[in-house]
Structures are given as C-alpha cells and as structure tokens.
C-alpha cells in the first residue's frame, strides 16, 4: 500500500482529524489507514432520516424506484436480502414487487421502523457477514452504497456468495475510484466521505474477487440511472467542500449544479462516472 490522499470529514465536519488513505499499486484498492476506533460517532443521529408520515414514505420509495427496476432485470421473485437498507425505501419496493424481503441493518431506529411500519424482518447487526448466517438462502442480495462502509467488505461479500442460491444475483452500487471527479477534486471529492467510506473499490478488482467466489458479472456500469444521479451530487457537494467559509457552501452548490450539466459529456462516459453498479450471478 502507498500513500494516496489525506483529507478530513469535509461532508459532515464531525472533527478536524486528518484521515489518510493508502492505495494498492497493483489492484487499485484505496483504504482508510487510520480508521477511528469510535467510527459510530461519525454517523450522526440524523444520518438516516426516518419518514414521519405516509407521504414521506411514498416520496422516499418513489426516489428509489430505479433500484427495483434494475433488480427485476435480473431477478423477478424469491427471497431478497438487503444489507444496510436504512429505513427501507427499497425494501418497501421489493415487497411490493413480490419479493420476500429481509434486511440487515445496524441502526436500531431503522430496524424498528422496518419491522413495525413495513413488516420487513430486520436483523440488527454491525457484523453483516455473521448476520447473513441468520438469513434465509437468498435469490438476490443487494448493497446500495454500503460496501464502501464495511470494515471487511471481502468477508461480507464471501458470506453473501455462500448465502445465494445457484442462479441468484448479488447487486452492488458503490463510488467509482476511477471517476473523472475524483481525479479533479482529489481529497475534496464528496464521495471520499472520510471517515465513513473505508474503502474505494475499483470495478475490475470487484469483478476479479467475485469470479473467485463463483459469481459471474452480468452488468458493470457507471451509466445506469442511479450512478448518473450521483454525478450531479458529486459536483454540488465537492465544489462546496472547497469553500473556505460555511457561508460560501450554498452558492458553490448552486454553481456545482450548473458545472455538472456542462460536464455531463465526460461524467456520462462509461467508466468515468462518480459511481458504478455491478450485478453478479452465482454459477
């Protein structure tokens, strides 16, 4: 591993501590070298905003509709496990689409909401690899921008591969460390999100590791609707991270929206976007 970048918690300003990422020159994996022992304190109480009304719940579900559209291209029925669902917008959509849904979530408030309001079985755990052993054999396992938060993503993905039924699919969405924006913004890129993002995983490495586990790539793209949506977010909030004073953040976010539209021709090229989505099928 070699020194890669130094940054701090620019997105949420939970501390002034400097965080150091190192990168493997061979596989391209970038990892946080000095992850805090008390990482939980960097997830504020409002990190997951639980809907206060039915209208809020429906708005959240509508925002996630592209996710279930994507999943149904590869799996249409059976058991689905979501790791890190938050309050469960996608879980709700998956249930409505006919899946039998389970969730693994570390936040107790979210688990309570999932079970009481959505009727989704929720396993409360900050160790998803172990929690997967409690879940039923799955036809689909999904991680929407979760794998980068995991202390040991490979252990979780190995557990997911074991839990999948033959022919089942594993879907992963995560920031793209080969993106145009990371090259431009460096330590100010909002999708670095130190210290919550512990790893930035290149898609080629993910393909290789999944192949060893008996999963073949059926999709790996930066141009699906979800990934493209993170491009605009990246421009607005990365530009705001450059602000020397808090008062400048809002105008810089507005400017970022304009610049993002101008840069779409680059961001929307395959492989250059801020995030990618990959789907793997078990042999």
pLDDT tens digit at each of 283 positions of the chain: 999 999 999 999 999 999 999 999 999 999 999 999 999 889 876 688 888 887 888 888 899 999 999 999 999 999 999 999 999 999 999 999 999 999 999 999 999 999 999 999 999 999 999 999 888 899 999 999 999 999 999 999 999 999 999 999 999 999 999 999 999 999 999 999 999 999 999 999 999 999 999 999 999 999 999 999 999 999 999 999 999 999 999 999 999 999 999 999 999 999 999 999 999 999 9
Distances (CA, A) of 92 to 142, 225, 232: 14, 19, 26
pLDDT score for 96? 95
Rg for the chain, CA atoms, rounded: 18
Query: Measured between alpha carbons, how far is 245 from 248 in angstroms, rounded to an integer?
Result: 6
Closest CA to 47 of 101, 106, 90: 106
pLDDT score for 45? 67
On whether the CB atoms of residues 92 and 62 are closer than 8 A, the answer is: no
pLDDT score for 242? 96
3-state secondary structure labels for all residues of the chain: CEEEEEECCCCCCCCCCCEEEEECCCCCCEEECCCCCCHHHHCCCCCCCCCCCHHHHHHHHHHCHHHHHHHCCCCCCCEEEEECCCCCHHHHHHHHCCCEEEEEECCHHHHHHHHHCCCCEEEECCCHHHHHHHCCCEEEEEEECCHHHCCCHHHHHHHHHHHEEEEEEEEEEEECCCCHHHHHHHHHCCCCCCCCCCEECCHHHHHHHHHHCCEEEEEEECCCHHHHHHHHHHHHHHHHHCCCCHHHHHHHHHHHHHHHHHCHHHHCCCCCCCEEEEEEEEC
The answer to whether the bond into 99 is cis (omega within 30° of 0) is no
């Amino acid at each position: 591993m070699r020194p890669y970048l130094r940054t701090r918690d620019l997105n949420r300003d939970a501390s002034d501590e400097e965080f150091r990422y190192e990168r493997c020159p061979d596989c391209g994996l970038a990892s946080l070298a000095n992850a805090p022992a008390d990482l939980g304190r960097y997830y504020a109480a409002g990190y997951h905003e639980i809907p206060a009304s039915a209208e809020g719940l429906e708005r959240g579900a509508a925002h996630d509709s592209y996710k279930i559209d994507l999943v149904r291209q590869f799996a249409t029925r059976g058991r689905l496990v979501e790791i890190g669902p938050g309050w469960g917008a996608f879980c709700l959509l998956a249930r409505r689409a006919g899946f039998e849904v389970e969730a693994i979530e570390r936040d107790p408030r979210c688990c309570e909401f999932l079970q009481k309001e959505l009727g989704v079985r929720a396993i409360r755990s900050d160790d998803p690899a172990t929690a997967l052993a409690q879940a039923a054999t799955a036809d689909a396992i999904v991680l929407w921008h979760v794998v980068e938060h995991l202390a040991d993503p490979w252990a979780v993905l190995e557990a997911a591969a074991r839990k999948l039924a033959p022919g089942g699919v594993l879907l992963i969405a995560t920031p793209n460390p080969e993106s145009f924006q990371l090259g431009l913004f460096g330590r100010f890129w909002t999708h670095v999100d130190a210290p919550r993002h512990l790893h930035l995983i290149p898609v080629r490495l993910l393909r290789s590791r999944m192949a060893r586990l008996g999963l073949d790539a059926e999709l790996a793209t930066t141009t699906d609707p979800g990934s493209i949506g993170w491009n605009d977010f990246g421009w607005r909030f990365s530009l705001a991270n450059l602000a020397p004073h808090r008062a400048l953040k809002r105008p810089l976010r507005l400017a970022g929206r304009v610049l993002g539209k101008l840069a779409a021709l680059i961001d929307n090229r395959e492989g250059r976007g801020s995030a990618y989505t990959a789907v793997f099928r078990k042999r």
